[in-house]
Amino acid sequence: MEKQLLIGNEAIALGLYEAGCRVVSSYPGTPSTEVTETAAAYPEIYCEWSPNEKVGVETALGAAIAGARAFSGMKHVGLNVAADPLFTSSYTGINAGMVILVADDPGMHSSQNEQDSRHYAKAAKLMMLEPSDSQECKDYAKLAFTLSEQFDTPVMLRLTTRVAHSRSLVELGDREEVALHPYVKDTDKYVMMPGQAKKRHVIVENRVEAQKHWASINTVEDNGSKIGVICAGISYQYAQEALGDKVNYLKLGCVYPLPEKLIQGFSHHCEKVYVLEQLDPFLE
């Protein structure tokens, strides 16, 4: 397979292309901007910059409900602007797959604050994946569409500055042409008046419970140590650099909902466990 050096953002765009994404509606903001700039070079993807992040998510959600795989990207402070449709989309679900990218900026290289977007995933009850290198950026972007359609929900991708702007080798693949999903009018599903929303809330809670048992990208590396490290994203790369194979690793590719049984089983076999993460003690 042909490989190419890509920054994480470019790899995300490649993943959108290979996954058969048709619509990208984003708002620019470092460290997320290059995702949409790169996706715009693919003629198979309709791309636009939206007036703001709320409009971007609403446009992508409309496309997904209509039957086309869709994406919206932004930086962490932009997720505040998009919070209204973000929370409601968790209740309505989707039709074709929908992926929402948020790029956090630990260290505030280009931002006015240092918020941790993982809290949004928990509050909105939306699945969140976090890659640790460019290959995973591509793979997780493709996987996010599959999970979105499997669980009938938008799926969030979280990047941080170092993953978004670091280069690593990525295998290039072919585009999967995904047919438009037929649209079926369903006011009980898509119109969130109180009567409908109360019924959908039960579905949301059941969905989160089901997602806890999905753990295919959460991996354990057993190096025969009594010390365990739980980490995700760029923190995994930092841990590997500093500790090598002297410790066991639980690398979480899905940071919400957390695989509680997997974490308990990993911790049970260690005398001491360290949790490495940027910003808030979310995993801890």
Q: Which amino acid is at 46?
A: Y
Q: Taking the alpha carbons of 80, 66, 131, 11 in that order, is the dihedral positive or negative?
A: negative
For CA atoms 179, 184, 190, 196, give the dihedral sign: negative
Q: How far apart are alpha carbons 155 and 120 in whole angstroms? A: 12
What tokens appear for 184 in the block? 């079926």
DSSP structure class, residue 257:
S
Q: Return the HEC string of 71-125.
A: EEEEEHHHHHHCHHHHHHHHHHCCCCCEEEEEEECCCCCCCCCCCCCHHHHHHHC
Q: What pLDDT is stored for residue 215 in this prediction? A: 75
4 forms beta bridges with 170
3-state DSSP assignment of residue 126: coil
105 vs 55: CA distance, rounded Å: 22
The one-digit pLDDT tens for each residue of the chain (284 residues) are: 799 999 999 999 999 999 999 999 999 999 999 999 999 999 999 999 999 999 999 999 999 999 999 999 999 999 999 999 999 999 999 999 999 999 999 999 999 999 999 999 999 999 999 999 999 999 999 999 999 999 999 999 999 999 999 999 999 999 999 999 999 999 999 999 999 999 999 999 999 999 998 878 999 999 999 999 999 999 999 999 999 999 999 999 999 999 999 999 999 999 999 999 999 999 99
In sequence order, the 6+-apart residues with CB closer than 8 A to the CB of 55 are 25, 27
In whole angstroms, what is the distance from residue 229 CA to residue 205 CA?
Answer: 29
- Listed in sequence order, the DSSP H helices in the chain are 8-18, 33-39, 53-66, 76-81, 83-92, 118-124, 134-151, 161-165, 187-190, 194-212, 234-243, 260-268
pTM for this prediction: 0.97
